[in-house]
């Protein structure tokens, strides 16, 4: 059973959502900065893209179980 919403709980939730959006924007900017750094170091846009692919492959390997669970949930929702 959840507590009824109040002015303060609504404000806290809105602040949490705004903070989350700011954190996502910061993460996105860090990703772009990493790509730019790979480009500056290598001097090649293609090499920078290859570095992104390498990094993403490592991330996917580390988080594959979570992604598979999310994908299965999406597929289940579509067939319900």
* Domain residue ranges in the chain: 7-79
Question: Has residue 2 got a pLDDT over 80?
Answer: no
Residues 46-57, mean pLDDT to the nearest whole number: 94
Question: Has residue 5 got a pLDDT over 80?
Answer: no
Residues 28-35, mean pLDDT to the nearest whole number: 95
- Name every residue whose Cβ is closer than 8 Å to that of residue 34 and which is 6 or more positions away in sequence: 52, 55
* Cα atoms in the Cβ-side hemisphere of radius 13 Å centred on 11: 3
**How close are the terminal C-alpha atoms of the chain, in Å?**
26
Q: How confident is the model at residue 3 (pLDDT cuts 50, 70, 90)?
A: low
Q: Contact 71/77 with Cβ under 8 angstroms?
A: no
Q: What percent of the chain is predicted at pLDDT more than 90?
A: 61
Q: Contact 47/38 with Cβ under 8 angstroms?
A: yes
Q: What pLDDT, on the 0 to 100 scale, is given for residue 14?
A: 87
């Amino acid at each position: 059973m959840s507590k009824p919403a109040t002015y303060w709980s609504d404000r806290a939730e809105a602040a949490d959502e705004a903070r989350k959006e700011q954190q996502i924007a910061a993460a996105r900017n860090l990703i772009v900065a990493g790509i730019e750094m790979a480009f500056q170091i290598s001097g090649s846009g293609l090499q920078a893209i290859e570095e992104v692919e390498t990094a993403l492959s490592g991330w996917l390997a580390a988080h594959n179980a979570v992604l598979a669970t999310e994908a299965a949930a999406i597929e289940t929702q579509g067939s319900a």
